[in-house]
Amino acid sequence: MQLRKIEDLELTGKKVFLRLDLNVPIKNGKIQDETRISEALPTIKYILERTSRLTMASHLGRPQNGGSPADSLEPVGAKLSELLEREVVLFPDYATESTIQLLNTLSKNQVMLLENLRFNPGEEANNVEFAHALVDGYDFYINDAFGTSHRAHASVSAAAELLSADRRAAGYLMQKEITALSEIVSRPAAPFTVIMGGSKVSDKISVILNLLNTCNHMLIGGAMAYTFLKFKGIDVGSSRVEADKMDLVETIFRNAESRKVQIHLPVDHLCANEFAETAAAIPVSGAIPAGLMGLDIGPETQKAFARVIRESKTVFWNGPMGVFEWPKFSKGTMSIAEAMADVRGKTVVGGGDSVSAVHQSGFASKMTHISTGGGASLEFLEGKVLPGIKLLMK
């Protein structure tokens, strides 16, 4: 099966429903990171070159009890208006009033943006009636929201199914994400190094096991490293450990050994006596004494990890090496980004905190691909068929 692409559709003069992922961080009404908005622009502009009859839709955050003004897409609409140089009309009442009627009244210099989809419980419930309210009367459905393609929500699943397969397609960001991540799973140039960080082994067990089929090296950092070290019999002090997940770690080591994959663990750490930004950073080599917790990989580990990364032709990174939001414990994570910037092959950053970290490092422009999907990218790399993508196949 092949992906039906936006270029396969004849959009001229047609009514288009476009599902985007505009879930950007907003603080006090101001957008903190515009990445997802800028990544949506190629698809939006492609459509607007062919038709002005465009309705855009997205969720924002996880609003409770019908949402609040703080959860509104109004700041996103204002930014889109600025970038597109046309008026973006925010429509809040689409669940009870026809979007098509409003769309037909807009001028050629206006486009519609639906208010936060998650204000309506029908969105996350994948409610068919709500899906009808979204897409009835439209000629085409375009999904460019890779970050939500793993969720069978109304705007991703039920709405798409209301249009025939030849009237729905993937936008440019969706295509870019699928291409970049597919190459990681099926055609990575060797040596292929996977870098895994973050807090829990249990959150990433499936993607780790799947990537062990194709990688040559796996570097483990972040809080999850202490579960691996504990399994190896190394004292980790009061570092965070998933004591009930040792069977998962054993499975990972067993699979790595059978596939001749080398797993690299931290040999030194930056520790603290409490989990606090103000805590003193205490360097520790080897075992961590009682009363101390590891909050970042140490300088020797940074050097060792960097050597492996720089010798690789393909690198995939998901998860920070420590509490990178705190300057004292950010050097390990920043060292990963710096080493990846020197790779002369393909470098992919897999969503979530890793994206924030690579932007913070200043090396984002050196990466081959930075995924906009956190959970979606991991589920894709597990080998799952994501609901939102399945519906775009022909």
Q: Tokens representing 24?
A: 């950007």
19, 36, 151, 331: which is the annotated catalytic residue? 36
State the 10-residue block means of pLDDT for the chain, 394 residues long. Answer: 93 97 91 90 98 97 84 96 96 90 92 96 96 96 96 96 97 96 91 93 90 96 95 96 94 96 98 96 96 97 98 96 95 97 95 84 94 89 92 93
For the chain, list the domains and their CATH numbers. Answer: 6-175 (3.40.50.1260), 188-381 (3.40.50.1260)
Q: What is the DSSP string of 29-97?
A: TEES--HHHHHHHHHHHHHHTT-S-EEEE---S---TT--GGG-SHHHHHHHHHHHTSEEEEES-TTTS
pTM of the predicted model, to two decimals? Answer: 0.90
Q: How far apart are CA 5 and CA 171, in angstroms?
A: 6
> From CA 314, how far away is CA 291, in angstroms rounded?
39
- Torsion-angle region of residue 245: left (phi > 0), alpha (psi -120 to 50) or beta? alpha
User: Mapping DSSP to helix (H, G, I), strand (E, B) and coil, where does residue 5 land?
Assistant: strand
Beta-strand ranges (E) seen in 208-323 are 217-220, 262-264, 268-272, 282-285, 293-297, 314-318
Residues 6+ apart with CB under 8 A from 244: none
What is the predicted pLDDT for the residue at 373? 84
352 is a catalytic site residue: yes
Catalytic residue, from 50, 86, 200, 390: name it.
200
Cα(222)–Cα(321) distance, rounded to whole angstroms? 4
What is the DSSP-derived secondary structure letter of residue 393? B
- C-alpha to C-alpha distance for 218 and 196, rounded to whole angstroms: 7
Report d(CA 361, CA 337) in Å as an integer.
7
Is residue 384 among the annotated active site residues? no
**Beta-carbon contacts of residue 338 (< 8 Å; ≥ 6 apart):** 306, 361, 363
CA 68/CA 346 separation, integer angstroms: 42
* Set 171, 298, 319, 352: catalytic member: 352
Q: Could you write out the DSSP letters of every residue in 152-199?
A: --TTTTHHHHTS-GGGEEE-HHHHHHHHHHHHHHH-PPSSEEEEE-SS
CA distance 27 to 7: 36
Check residue 355 and give its pLDDT.
85
| Alpha-carbon separation of residue 148 from 21, 59, 61, 264, 350 (angstroms) | 7, 9, 12, 32, 14
CA nearest neighbour of 318 among 224, 246, 188: 224
Tokens representing residue 314 in the block: 């393909």
375: annotated active-site residue = yes
Which H or E element spans position 135?
helix 128-135
pLDDT tens-place string over residues 86-130: 999 999 999 888 899 999 999 999 999 999 999 999 999 999 999
Q: Is 384 left (phi over 0), alpha (psi -120 to 50) or beta?
A: beta
* 200 included as an active-site residue: yes
Among the options 61, 375, 384, 390, which is catalytic?
Answer: 375
| 3-state secondary structure string across 14-47 | CCEEEECCCCCCEECCEECCCHHHHHHHHHHHHH
Compute and round to an integer the Cα radius of gyration of the chain. Answer: 23
Strands across the sheet containing 262-264: 262-264, 217-220, 192-196, 314-318, 346-349, 369-370
Q: Are 16 and 139 contacting, i.e. CB atoms less than 8 angstroms apart?
A: yes
Q: CB atoms < 10 A from the CB of 23, how many?
A: 20
Distance (Å) of CA 152 to CA 76, 158, 214, 264: 24, 8, 29, 36
Question: What pLDDT was estimated at residue 374?
Answer: 81
